């Protein structure tokens, strides 16, 4: 590359001011951050809708809200809700299984045994600062139920034990894509392109200056 060509290239590069590119980049970063935040807010609204539906006890409504959350999270970047716990749905199933166990105990002994076992375990849970149910079945409460039940003669004649329902079906995990073709995704692309242009421009200017310096240094 001749000395004249190098100067001509530098002149063309200087026509597009670096501060203009930096200003445009700053604006696009703000726009991208805004759209990413809106995506996240949309996810939070749908996740809260799942929690509200879970409180109603209507399984069909919970399924609809979970579908809405899954569809939104899978099509928007920065919208991963993490693990969504259906606490109330699990608690309903847990209470139903505990009631079924209590009925089995009552049928093999009497209602007094059920009352005594529950009284002991409820008191112990309160004394030691834990509940019989907190997000999922508290293993200390489950262990207490089985230990107290084992003290009665009817327990030795059977293999009956309280087994809490599994928690896995009551946790849902959704993951959003790294990039999505929405306003947030395209604004991020614009930021990347502008950043690449600025870096490329700086590198070209540095290389041209080195070439000019070497040409001037020649005897």
- Give the tens place of pLDDT for each residue, 80-108: 999 999 999 998 998 888 888 888 877 87
State the pLDDT at residue 35: 97
Cβ atoms of residues 182 and 35 within 8 Å:
yes
Structural domain span for residue 157: 88-171
Kindly write down the DSSP assignment for every residue of 32-52, as one continuous string: HHHHHHHHHHHHHHHHHHHHH
State the pLDDT at residue 212: 72
Same domain? 97 vs 70: no
Cβ atoms of residues 205 and 12 within 8 Å:
no
The mean per-residue pLDDT over the stretch 29-37 comes to 97
Distance of CA 174 to the CA centre of its chain: 7
DSSP 8-state code for residue 161:
-
Closest CA to 174 of 38, 76, 29: 76
CA–CA gap between residue 27 and residue 21 (Å, rounded): 10
Mean of pLDDT over the chain: 84
* Final residue in a domain of this structure, among 151, 171, 191: 171
Same domain? 97 vs 30: no
Q: What is the pTM of this model?
A: 0.76
Beta carbons within 8 Å of 93's beta carbon, 6+ residues apart: 165, 170
Same domain? 166 vs 180: no
Write the pLDDT tens digit of every residue in 132-174.
554 456 788 888 888 888 887 766 656 778 888 888 889 999 9
CA–CA gap between residue 54 and residue 115 (Å, rounded): 30
Same domain? 29 vs 42: yes
- Residue 39 burial (CB count, 10 A): 23
State the Rg of the chain over Cα: 33
CA–CA gap between residue 207 and residue 201 (Å, rounded): 10
Same domain? 126 vs 157: yes
Beta strand spans in 28-129 (E):
82-85
Cβ atoms of residues 70 and 166 within 8 Å:
no
Give the count of domains, the chain.
Answer: 2
Cβ atoms of residues 167 and 90 within 8 Å:
yes
Residue 9 confidence (pLDDT) above 60: no
Same domain? 147 vs 98: yes
Write the pLDDT tens digit of every residue in 105-117.
778 776 678 788 8
């Amino acid at each position: 590359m001749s000395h004249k060509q190098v100067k001509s290239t530098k002149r063309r590069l200087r026509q597009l001011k670096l501060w203009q590119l930096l200003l445009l980049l700053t604006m696009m970063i703000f726009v991208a951050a805004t759209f990413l935040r809106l995506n996240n807010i949309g996810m939070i609204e749908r996740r809260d809708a799942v929690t509200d539906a879970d409180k109603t006890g209507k399984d069909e409504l919970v399924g609809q809200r979970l579908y809405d959350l899954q569809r939104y999270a899978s099509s928007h970047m920065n919208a991963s809700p993490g693990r969504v716990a259906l606490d109330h749905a699990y608690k309903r199933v847990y209470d139903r299984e505990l009631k079924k166990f209590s009925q089995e105990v009552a049928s093999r002994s009497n209602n007094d045994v059920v009352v005594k076992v529950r009284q002991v375990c409820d008191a112990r849970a309160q004394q030691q600062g834990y509940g019989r149910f907190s997000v999922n079945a508290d293993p200390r409460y489950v262990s207490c139920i089985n230990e107290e039940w084992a003290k009665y003669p009817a327990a030795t004649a059977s293999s009956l034990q309280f087994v809490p329902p599994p928690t896995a079906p009551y946790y849902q995990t959704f993951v959003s894509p790294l990039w999505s073709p929405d306003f947030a995704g395209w604004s991020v692309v614009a930021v990347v392109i502008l950043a690449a242009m600025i870096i490329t421009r700086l590198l070209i200017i540095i290389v041209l200056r080195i070439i000019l310096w070497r040409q001037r240094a020649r005897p």
